[in-house]
């Protein structure tokens, strides 16, 4: 995967790198008053090309954040999860976001067998108009494109067996059929848990739709 993947602002459609996105969110979409939130940067701990920015009310708990992380890029079969702070000290899920300070970092671990680790950085306090959902997705990396190991076409699957054997464990629809480990194929997902356990991303409904093409959508 190319380094420094770009992402989309889910509020206005802007396409920017990870750092520029942070500045964009603070400058363009910051409100002066309203519901007080923490702006969070969320990244795959070992693959930072997967990244998100969200805001979440200071009164919400880590439990709410855990539920969101499971939906957008983790849940396969209900594994256990935990948050921890410096020195790997566990932080209880009933802790409110408001207790954290700017630039605090938390590690989230999902599944203590085939663990997926997520790094969460508190960027700062922001305000927003009250939302129905506690966690609001503000920006996300553009889904990376993978090439089929056999024919070079756009891949649709990752082989959970070939991961251990080759550099390119990706296959297109056509080449997936009859692949020697056909039963090990998992769909390509926009998640650091792609190809792990039975992860299929079926709860990830956070697909980017450009506000510019949405009916009635207005671009700023
Ligand atoms: Zn924007
Ligand atoms: Zn699983
Ligand atoms: Zn192919
Ligand atoms: Zn294979």
Q: Which ligand is nearest to the CA of 165?
A: 4
Give me ligand 4 centre to Cα 177, in Å: 11
Q: Does the pLDDT at position 213 exceed 60?
A: no
> Do residues 123 and 149 both lie within one domain?
no
Does 123 map to a domain?
A: yes
Average the pLDDT over 104-114 and give the result.
97
Q: Does the pLDDT at position 93 exceed 90?
A: yes
Does 73 map to a domain?
A: yes
Q: What is the pLDDT of residues 19-44, one digit of tens each?
A: 999 999 999 999 999 999 999 999 99
Give me ligand 3 centre to Cα 168, in Å: 12
Q: How far apart are CA 48 and CA 4, in angstroms?
A: 8
> Do residues 74 and 152 both lie within one domain?
no
Give me ligand 1 centre to Cα 94, in Å: 31
Please provide the average confidence, as pLDDT, over all residues in the chain: 94
Domain that residue 76 falls in: 7-141
Query: What confidence tier does 95 reach under pLDDT thresholds 50, 70, 90?
Result: very high
Query: What confidence tier does 138 reach under pLDDT thresholds 50, 70, 90?
Result: very high
Q: Does the pLDDT at position 8 exceed 60?
A: yes
Q: Which ligand is nearest to the CA of 196?
A: 2
Q: Write down the pLDDT at residue 210.
A: 83
Q: Does the pLDDT at position 180 exceed 80?
A: yes
Q: How far apart are CA 200 and CA 157, in angstroms?
A: 10
Q: Which ligand is nearest to the CA of 81?
A: 2
Give me ligand 2 centre to Cα 139, in Å: 26
Give me ligand 1 centre to Cα 30, in Å: 10
Give me ligand 4 centre to Cα 176, in Å: 9
Q: Which ligand is nearest to the CA of 175?
A: 3
> Do residues 167 and 130 both lie within one domain?
no
Residue 87 φ/ψ region, left for φ over 0, alpha for ψ in the -120 to 50 degree band, beta for the rest: left
The domain total for the chain is 2
Q: Which ligand is nearest to the CA of 27?
A: 1
Angle 99-103-105 from CA coordinates, rounded to 5°: 75
Residue 95's CB is within 10 A of a number of other CB atoms, namely 16
Does 207 map to a domain?
A: no
């Amino acid at each position: 995967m190319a380094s420094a993947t770009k992402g989309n602002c889910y509020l206005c459609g802007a396409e920017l790198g990870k750092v520029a996105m942070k500045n964009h969110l603070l400058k363009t979409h910051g409100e002066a008053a309203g519901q007080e939130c923490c702006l969070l940067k969320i990244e795959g701990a070992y693959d930072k090309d997967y990244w998100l920015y969200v805001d979440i009310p200071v009164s919400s708990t880590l439990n709410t954040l855990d539920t969101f992380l499971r939906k957008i890029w983790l849940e396969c079969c209900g594994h256990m999860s935990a948050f921890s702070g410096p020195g790997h000290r566990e932080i209880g899920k009933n802790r409110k976001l408001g207790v954290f300070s700017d630039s605090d970092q938390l590690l989230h671990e999902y599944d203590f067998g085939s663990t997926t680790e997520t790094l969460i950085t508190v960027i700062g306090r922001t305000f927003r108009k009250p939302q129905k959902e506690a966690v609001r997705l503000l920006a996300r990396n553009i889904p990376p494109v993978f090439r089929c190991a056999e024919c070079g076409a756009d891949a649709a699957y990752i082989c959970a067996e070939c991961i251990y054997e080759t550099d390119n464990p990706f296959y297109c629809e056509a080449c997936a059929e009859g692949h020697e480990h056909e039963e090990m194929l998992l769909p390509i997902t926009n998640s650091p848990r792609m190809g792990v356990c039975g992860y299929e991303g079926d709860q990830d409904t956070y697909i980017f739709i450009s506000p510019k093409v949405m009916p009635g959508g207005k671009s700023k």
